[in-house]
Amino acid sequence: MRKKFILIHCLIAGIVLISCSQKEKFDTIIRNGMIYDGNGGEPFKGDVGINADTIAFIGNLSNASAKNEVDANGKAVAPGFIDTHSHHAGNLFNRRDLIAALSQGITTIIIGQDGGSNFPLSDFYKKLNDSAVAVNIGSYSGHNTIRDSILGKDYKRISTQDEIEKMKLLLKQDMEAGAFGLSTGLEYDPGIYSSNDEILQLAKVVAPYGGRYISHIRSEDRYFWKAIDEIITIGKEAKIPVQVSHIKLAMHNIWGKADSLLALFEAARKKGIDITADIYPYAFWNSTIKVLFPNRNFNDEKEAELILNEITLPNDIILGSYEVKPEYAGKNLAEIAKLENKTPARMLIELIARIDEWEKENGRDCQENIMATSMSEADIKKLMQWPHTNICSDGSSGGTHPRGYGAFTRVLGNYVKKEKTLSMQQAIHKMTGLSAQQMGIKKRGSIKVGYYADLVIFNPETVSDEATVAEPHKLSDGIETVWVNGTIVFENKKTTELYPGKIIKRQSQN
Ligand SMILES: [Zn+2]
């Protein structure tokens, strides 16, 4: 009897042992998540299993084990956010952990924006291969960079056909290195001097590669509708997807026109033009002070007055940095004008003139930037809600605008929770699945078996941006753990100093 009991006991132990050894094993299991898969649907409870850099299982993993187990405690588990318009790669190799991006849940940045890119892209990718960083990086090829290589200092003019042909060769070189397509920054030098035809000819170069066009359009204020017409025409004639960067209506007399703009986009889409947009969640922008003068008539007091009446008010222009007189940083134009006993229009003209003088004296570019409030909240909300608008930051790691550290968390905290502009699943879709689709990125942006394990756990109750104009580098709240390609890169408000980011090259759409 006793022998029999021992035998049965051993048999049970054996079965338990066998079932233990058959228990499925993963490198990582995230347990008890509220999974937002990035496609915009309702979230669901579940676990995620990761092997190496890939999502291997989604569902119930209560019988499985892993080397690394993370309990999400019912918090949100989402695909890592994709920033489709990022300047975070400035000074990249000295900031390989990219905490500005990771701390707001961003795992992929798309650079080469506003017409400025690392040229040639192949050299940049070689460097990135040798010295990887914490996030994935894809890039466009920048028109301003290419135009500058061909025209140099003689750029304040239309280019000749011969010069355009030379630009095409440089662009092709970048496309072969894996650029996503052509980016333009047509409010900036030297691109502002280009003809529509120059841009169209270059856009056509990227078409056979399956490339796309992304643009800081020629005007976000005075000549807005013409600029919109230009990008729609490029989509139509070059037959490539086109995306309006950081879409905005940045002049008082076009406020309230978001519906008309979206009707234009919808009409274009009905005709087969693949036009989309990205947006950052702030009513104030950040750029060079000179961008205020599209006709480059920096001495024209009438123009300065128009700017200060129609585009941004003297109280609403804050100097982010001003190397000529660093103590002016953080002050607004009205305050500075008062200090110098001048009218705001006169002061604006003088601030610019002093930059030119400083540059002549010092033989290099003067550091300067402004933050200016030019957009209305009502327009921002409507543009954000358009089904073809994804979220971007337009931010940088060392910048003075809080978007560099707070854009994505501000959407979740302010526009989802407080303003209810978007539902949580819509917002996440606009940061992940939609962004991947609009950039042509495969196997990222969704929680799906076989996709790369770029993931973020965040607390939907507490997620919020903390960065402000006064403290632009303050880390967001609520972002708990971030994975890039299966490796934890951010937890407990710190980076892990691991660098699993990959280069993302343009992918075929077939
Ligand atoms: Zn821009």
Residues in a beta bridge with 45:
34
Look at the block and give the residue holding tokens 């992918």. Answer: 507
Q: Which amino acid is at 234?
A: I
Please tell me the distance between residue 403's alpha carbon and the centre of ligand 1 in angstroms: 13
The reported pLDDT for the residue numbered 24 is 86
Inter-CA distances, 220 with 182, 223, 388, Å: 19, 7, 19
Please tell me the distance between residue 183's alpha carbon and the centre of ligand 1 in angstroms: 10
Please tell me the distance between residue 246's alpha carbon and the centre of ligand 1 in angstroms: 7
Name the superfamily (CATH) of residues 79-283+375-495.
Metal-dependent hydrolases (3.20.20.140)
pLDDT digits (tens, 9 = 90+) for 273-324: 999 999 999 999 999 999 999 999 999 999 999 999 999 999 999 999 999 9
Please tell me the distance between residue 406's alpha carbon and the centre of ligand 1 in angstroms: 17
Cβ count near 122 (within 10 Å) = 15
The reported pLDDT for the residue numbered 23 is 78
Q: Check: CB of residue 479 under 8 Å from CB of residue 104.
A: yes
Spans of the chain below 50 pLDDT: 1-3, 5-8, 10-21, 509-510
Please tell me the distance between residue 213's alpha carbon and the centre of ligand 1 in angstroms: 14
Distance in angstroms (rounded) separating the CA atoms of residues 170 and 167: 5
The reported pLDDT for the residue numbered 14 is 44
Please tell me the distance between residue 479's alpha carbon and the centre of ligand 1 in angstroms: 27
Distance in angstroms (rounded) separating the CA atoms of residues 95 and 302: 43
Q: Check: CB of residue 106 under 8 Å from CB of residue 81.
A: yes
Please tell me the distance between residue 276's alpha carbon and the centre of ligand 1 in angstroms: 15
How distant is the alpha carbon of residue 15 from its chain centre?
53
Inter-CA distances, 160 with 147, 170, 195, Å: 12, 16, 10
Please tell me the distance between residue 400's alpha carbon and the centre of ligand 1 in angstroms: 15
Q: Counting Cβ atoms within 10 Å, is residue 13 exposed (0-12), middle (13-18) or buried (19+)? A: exposed
Q: So where are the chain's domains?
A: 79-283+375-495, 289-372
The reported pLDDT for the residue numbered 301 is 96
Please tell me the distance between residue 285's alpha carbon and the centre of ligand 1 in angstroms: 9
Q: Counting Cβ atoms within 10 Å, is residue 327 exposed (0-12), middle (13-18) or buried (19+)? A: exposed
Please tell me the distance between residue 286's alpha carbon and the centre of ligand 1 in angstroms: 9
SS3 for 379-433 is HHHHHHHCCCEEECCCCCCCCCCCHHHHHHHHHHHHHHHHCCCCCHHHHHHHHCH
Please tell me the distance between residue 125's alpha carbon and the centre of ligand 1 in angstroms: 23
Please tell me the distance between residue 395's alpha carbon and the centre of ligand 1 in angstroms: 10
pTM as predicted: 0.94
Radius of gyration of the chain (CA): 25
The reported pLDDT for the residue numbered 508 is 62
